[in-house]
Amino acid sequence: MYKHLIIVLLCALGSAQLYAQGSVSGRIIDENGDPLPSATVMLTAKSDSVLAAFAMSNSEGNFKLSTVDQGAYFLQVTFLEYEQFNRDIEVGKKAGELALGDLTMLEKSTTLDDVEITDERIPIRIKGDTVEYDAKAFTTRPNSNVEDLLKRLPGVEVDQDGNIKAQGESVTKILVDGKEFFGDDPKVASKNLPAEAVDKVQVFDKMSEIAEFTGIDDGERNRTINLALKEDYKTGYFGNVMGGYGTQERFEAKANINRFSETSQLSFLGMANNINEQPFSIQDYITFMGGLNRVLQSGTLRGGGMFRGGGAGNIGVLSGTGQLGSGINTVGAGGLNFNQDFGKKTTLQSSYFYNYLRNDLTQRSTRENILEGSSFLTNDTTSSQDINHNHRLNLRLNHKIDSLSELLLIGSGRYNLTDGVSSNDINSLTGAELQNRSRRDELTAGDLTNLDSRLQYRRKFRKRGRALVVEGTAAFNGTDQEIDLQAVNTILLDTFGTFIDTLRQDQQADQSQLDLGGKISYTEPIGKRKYLEFNYTHQESFIDLNKDFFNVAENGAASLDSLLSNRYDGRWRYDQAGANFRLVKKKFNLNLGLNVQRSALDGTIGLQDTSLNKTFFNVLPSLRWRWSPSKASRMRFNYTARVNAPTIEELQPVLDNSNPFNLYIGNPDLEAETAHNLRLNYFFFDMFSFTGFFASLNATYTQNKISQATTVDSSFRQLTTPINVDNDLRINFNANFNTPIRALGVKIGLTPTVTYNRAITFINDVENPTNRLVSGGEARIENRKKNWLDAVGGVRLSHNLTTYAIDADMNQTFLNTTYFADVTATFLKNTNLNTRFDYTVYSGGGFNDNVSVPLWRASLSKTFLGNDRAELKASVFDLLNLNRGISRTTEINYLEETRANALGRYYMLSFTYKIISVGKKR
């Protein structure tokens, strides 16, 4: 009875509400009676000034505001270079349309000597799948870069290391007027281009190249930002140069010069510093500092894009002070980006970039290793210096043969040269009792070469949707490396006393891989907005690995150690065929696919005279669905299945005892992983209230997950081998909510995140299911009007909980909290005072103690000369001189704390000069 009564009341209220609603219409014209399209019409309630309705006039100047409640309103109409139109209106109780007729707007009549013309701007527009921000509506300080602009845009996040997220997803590329800028690294553009050159910031999901050509959406998208430049900046040159020097011999220098015309873009970037500022992504940092130096200890060879990366796929959560990498980094970089339109048919996009990186590191790590029913500690004291030189070249050439076909050539190359020296002292203990010890000194030298090319022919046919794509690929990867190792290993044996082993080795490795492949795809329309695509891919990889270990005697004589040395010669190939059904509607897109893949590995282990022969057969379904119920909201769901084959090192039954405390042997019985990935995204942004909500849910379930089994003896020497396990699950959720609170003059943002991982390892033949839950996020508040004061503050949380099935007493939990505030005040028109304070608290939990790290930075800058061309800045880093390089990491079978040398307090004086001559056609 009560349920029916509630329904009746709701219906009555709804009927009353509908009865009390009407609409407001009219036509916007100028003094000559001509319509004004795209005029902004806003209706606000007189009682509280809340926005009630919003519209834009159409091409005929007409507008209509629907479902307006009864009451008194204030009507406001704005249009560029016209006086604002205002009128009081009343919407009556009776339903119907309030027709206002023609509303005439008057042109602004001003005298430039005494009147400043300001434009009414719409900060954000939703254009289909694109969120477009008007850069002028988001104030930045003089000489700000694009990264500073992005930080002010609702729904866009930039973390401490410069990584960018838009609407909850990572941005993989930044384009400049639709063209690449120094390849795919978004940081190069965000950290170097000036914010004042940008007219619009367009955030969108970039379709695949084939979908862009054919016009048929295949559901593949990558989050991308396009920087639409102001018209003046599309012709002429602009940029700036900066130099600074400070105490502790700290220095920083930057230069970026851009020369643009209607048909070309030429940009130069250069920088050098020793204050841990990098112009490249963290992926490059990992490649430089760790990838090449570990070739001899771990296998990372890939075949045909199908070999999985090393490791068991564990999740590690790193918490630090926001400095990229550990230690003190000295950086030098420079490069050229050149884009050219050769007429209407041929375009070239190219870039060359060079990086120099020297890392000086002193650190101490304490790791608690989890065993069944117990644990042991490993202390590692490291001192190292690594020097890396990296060259990168990117090329993209597109030629339109005719209106229906085109050729695309994409090429890239990388050459990396590294030298390093390191010293390690590693102790394993139970409680305070030493069990073993290793002292290692290494000299490392090596180089890495990577070449990749793709040639693609695309053809559309007269019948819409019919298309043919033929593609050929070729790639080469090669590394050469040498390590001079000296080690003293001490093992304390209960029965036989102390065993000391002195090792001197010359380790040499070279490996090469040649990849050749081809793909053909044909799409046929089968009805209205329905398409069927057939595809076939073949790829082969030829792999050659030589690893030689030479034992060096006291007199310097070297002899080959055949037990450690290794030879491998093999071929990896796979064939994949499938079909995709596509349904493309105005508001939604559906893609259903089914692929069948057969892959095979044939190889020979030379010194052992054994062979490896593996064959994998997989059925791989896929589903992509996109729905846009309105311009303000959209939803996306993706399901894909992927095969990850084991690496060569994981398959070879060859014992690697180069480190006698950490032995490794491959497993020839490994099966390939099959990873099932589901992704759900939701986007909503109300451009009337500037309220946005973005959410993303990702889940990956892996069959035959390649994990590891570890055996630990009484002296804590470990033998690890890869194995297949089931039920590996990883779930990640993140969201972003932001909205203004107009009454307080602020806007708030909430970014919750949750990551769950269920993984399985084996320790001493005991299965060890491990559950990890990492939850937290960020809450921030900032002022809306930033004419003279720009203030933001908030808190970031990361709570880590790890539970072990083998022993609940080993469960670990800890909380990291960072309070932050960033305030900039502008006074005397061209003077800026900035202060930023981060206070990070690392709770004890499974670690020994609580640690607090306050980091306070401040600067005072003044711009002068015409158009703020010059800036003088005095700054101080770590004002309290309490910065510490600390990180805490948990994995599925250990937790670790690392403390490294970090930048301390220094003062710096810098000068920046803006170079600009734009708007001149040549």
pLDDT tens for each residue of 252-286: 999 989 898 888 889 998 999 999 887 655 444 44
Q: How confident is the model at residue 116 (pLDDT cuts 50, 70, 90)?
A: very low
Closest CA to 471 of 517, 540, 513, 539: 517
Instruction: Decide which of 354 and 632 is more confident.
Output: 354
Q: What is the pLDDT of residue 9?
A: 36
pLDDT digits (tens, 9 = 90+) for 170-195: 888 889 888 888 777 788 888 888 88
DSSP reduced 3-state for 209? helix
- Asked if residue 12 has pLDDT above 50, the reply is no
Q: Using alpha carbons only, what angle is made at residue 255 by residues 252 and 259, rounded to the nearest 5 degrees? A: 170
Residues belonging to the chain: 922
- Asked if residue 19 has pLDDT above 70, the reply is no
When mean pLDDT is compared across 109-118, 264-273, 712-721, 857-866, the lowest value belongs to 109-118
In angstroms, rounded to a whole number, what is the distance separating the alpha carbons of residues 151 and 170?
14
Q: What is the pLDDT of residue 431?
A: 75
pLDDT digits (tens, 9 = 90+) for 375-391: 788 888 999 999 999 99
Q: What is the pLDDT of residue 860?
A: 96
**In 843-905, at which residue ranges do the beta strands (DSSP E only) sit?**
851-864, 870-877, 885-890, 894-900
- Asked if residue 167 has pLDDT above 90, the reply is no
Which helix (H) or strand (E) covers residue 214, if one does? helix 209-214
Instruction: Decide which of 784 and 631 is more confident.
Output: 784
Q: What is the pLDDT of residue 846?
A: 66
CA atoms within 13 A on the CB side of 436: 22
When mean pLDDT is compared across 8-22, 459-473, 553-567, 849-863, the lowest value belongs to 8-22
The predicted model scores a pTM of 0.77
Q: What is the pLDDT of residue 829?
A: 79
Closest CA to 821 of 791, 797, 842, 858: 791
Q: What is the pLDDT of residue 601?
A: 87
Q: What is the pLDDT of residue 881?
A: 92
Share of the chain above pLDDT 90, in %: 35
In angstroms, rounded to a whole number, what is the distance separating the alpha carbons of residues 32 and 411?
57
Average pLDDT over residues 541-551: 90
Average pLDDT over residues 342-365: 91
